[in-house]
Amino acid sequence: MSTEFAQKSHDALVDPKLQLAIYTSTARLKQNRIDAVSPAALPDYQELRAQANAIKKHTIDNLDHYLEELESNVAAHGGKVVYCKDGTEVSDFILNLAKERGAHLIVKSKSMTTEEVDLNERLEHHGLESVETDLGEYILQLAHERPYHIVAPALHMTRYQVADLFERELHAPREIVIEKQTALARSVLREKFLAADIGISGANFLVADSGAVVIVENEGNARLTTSAPKIHIAVAGIEKVIPRAQDLATFLKLLARSATGQLLSVYTSFLSGPRREGEIDGPEEFYVVLLDNGRTRLLPDKGKRQSLFCIRCGACLNTCPVYRKIGGHSFPWVYSGPIGAILTPQFMGTQHEPALPFASSLCGACGEVCPVKIDIPKVLLDLRSEVKKSDAREGRNRLEKLGFRLFAWLMTHPPLFEMAGRIARSMGWPTSRKGPLGAWLSERDLPPLPAHSFREMWRRR
């Protein structure tokens, strides 16, 4: 476990305000989901999950075919698909386009994919202004922080922290009423929307047979981002494609219910190409950026490939006993919770944070709530095994191996085992938090040692 992961987890655990914020927010989202998918509210929930899983499996297994179908249908509606290997290629494409069109101001709607590649920082580094417009993301951009949660990015912040931030960054009078804070952000961002040259969005789904980008949101900022500026660029991972528009009848029923418990999010936009002849408004140019950024690394393994089925609903975070204690910022990359624990090692390599697949109780709750039935606990186990194999190859686990060999040897020599037991009982449990067991002991209380071993009691019975 890296010291950073350990330290951040520890910091979250000892912060009572943060613990309360995480606990209440995730509890509410969790209960909303339970109510929304209950048999009374959605009798065919399990059938929908099975269908969603089957569609995702089929699409990922034939991903090249659906990417090409998407590409030709986007082109048929006057848009353009741009494939990018990594963040550098995404920002190069946008910077070039901005230069050609003389664009300076970019509005952005929420997108985890652009968080992966730090798109705002890259664009601002080259002199463009790139403004997040989702309220939570806007707050985080002002605070220079990463999203705390996939669907509730500023879950960890209180109205008082937002008040300080707005006062400092927007030079507005201090305001602690949430409605007024929201109104302030609305008015600042409204100006940006109306002046912006380019809108950058993410995508919840890419529809191959329609060449369409589907975006789900509650605020209206994604609608403004995609229709107020003259240029709309949607940035999406290659795994977001689904075969048919009709598949949305399955996915849309699952996404909002799993994320927030809503039947549908307030706005679902189905966008295909720029404004057409006769249409009154909408963008003049439409681009779909298809990002790899490590996704193709997940494809060869038929078992772990399912990690790419994720529709980013966040249900696994809300139900996870580990996420609900250590929170989102303890995780080493943009994706947190159980889905982060399986995506990060596969995108960045297991050595990025070897402890990540182990940061789970394997209780199985994440797999149970997943609307596309990703077997997260199984993938975690596969990744644990990978970490251990690589440790063995690199000889990093010599001490552990030695320990287990000693233990095996003791177990197969009963008289010595008994003697070792007597010595251990006379000495008591190790209490030092230093040494190889230190981390393990630091969070655990061991039961008192019995006066007699089982073998002794058995003999005396």
Partner 1 sequence: MSRDYILHKVRTALGRGAGQAVADPPPVRIRIPQVSIDDRIASLLERVRALAGQAVVADDPRAFIANIVAGKSAVASNAPFLADCGITGLPGVRSGITGREELRDLCATVDAGITCADYALADTGTLVLLASPHEARMISLLPPAHIAVVPRARILTGLDELFSLLPNPAEATSSMVLITGPSRTADIEQILVRGVHGPGSLTVLVV
Residues in contact with partner 1, total (CB under 8 A)?
Answer: 99
Q: Of residues 9-68, which lie at the interface with partner 1 (CB under 8 A)?
A: 21, 24-25, 28, 44, 47-48, 51, 54-55, 58-59, 61-65, 67-68
Cβ distance to partner 1 smaller for residue 76 or 402:
76
Cβ distance to partner 1 smaller for residue 304 or 353:
304
Task: For residue 429, give the 3-state DSSP assignment.
Answer: coil
Cβ distance to partner 1 smaller for residue 219 or 353:
219
Q: What values do phi and psi take at 129, rounded to 5? A: -100, 120
Q: Measured between alpha carbons, how far is 44 from 56 in angstroms, rounded to an integer? A: 18
β-strands 285-291, 241-242: how paired?
A: unpaired
Should residue 185 be labelled a site residue for partner 1 when binding is judged by CB under 8 A? yes
For partner 1, the binding residue among 3, 279, 423, 445 (CB under 8 A) is 279
Q: Of residues 145-174, which lie at the interface with partner 1 (CB under 8 A)?
A: 152-155, 157-159, 162
Cβ distance to partner 1 smaller for residue 244 or 398:
244
Buried/exposed 7-28: b ≥16 CB within 10 Å, e otherwise = ebbeebeeeeebbebbeebbee
Residue 10 CB, shortest distance to partner 1, in Å, is 25
Q: What values do phi and psi take at 158, rounded to 5? A: -95, 165
Cβ distance to partner 1 smaller for residue 21 or 170:
21
Kind plus residue range of the DSSP H or E element containing 344: helix 337-348
Should residue 124 be labelled a site residue for partner 1 when binding is judged by CB under 8 A? no
Q: Measured between alpha carbons, how far is 106 from 121 in angstroms, rounded to an integer? A: 12
Q: Of residues 190-229, which lie at the interface with partner 1 (CB under 8 A)?
A: 190, 193-194, 207, 209-212, 218-221, 223-224, 227-228
Query: Which residue, 278, 277, 290, is CA-closest to 236?
Result: 290
Should residue 370 be labelled a site residue for partner 1 when binding is judged by CB under 8 A? no
Phi-psi category of residue 111: left, alpha or beta, with phi > 0 → left and psi -120 to 50 → alpha: beta
Kind plus residue range of the DSSP H or E element containing 379: helix 376-394
For partner 1, the binding residue among 84, 119, 235, 322 (CB under 8 A) is 84
Find out whether 114 and 202 touch, Cβ atoms under 8 Å. yes
Cβ distance to partner 1 smaller for residue 106 or 359:
106
Should residue 113 be labelled a site residue for partner 1 when binding is judged by CB under 8 A? no
For partner 1, the binding residue among 113, 114, 141, 181 (CB under 8 A) is 181
Should residue 408 be labelled a site residue for partner 1 when binding is judged by CB under 8 A? no
For partner 1, the binding residue among 265, 306, 344, 350 (CB under 8 A) is 265
**8-state DSSP, 301:** -
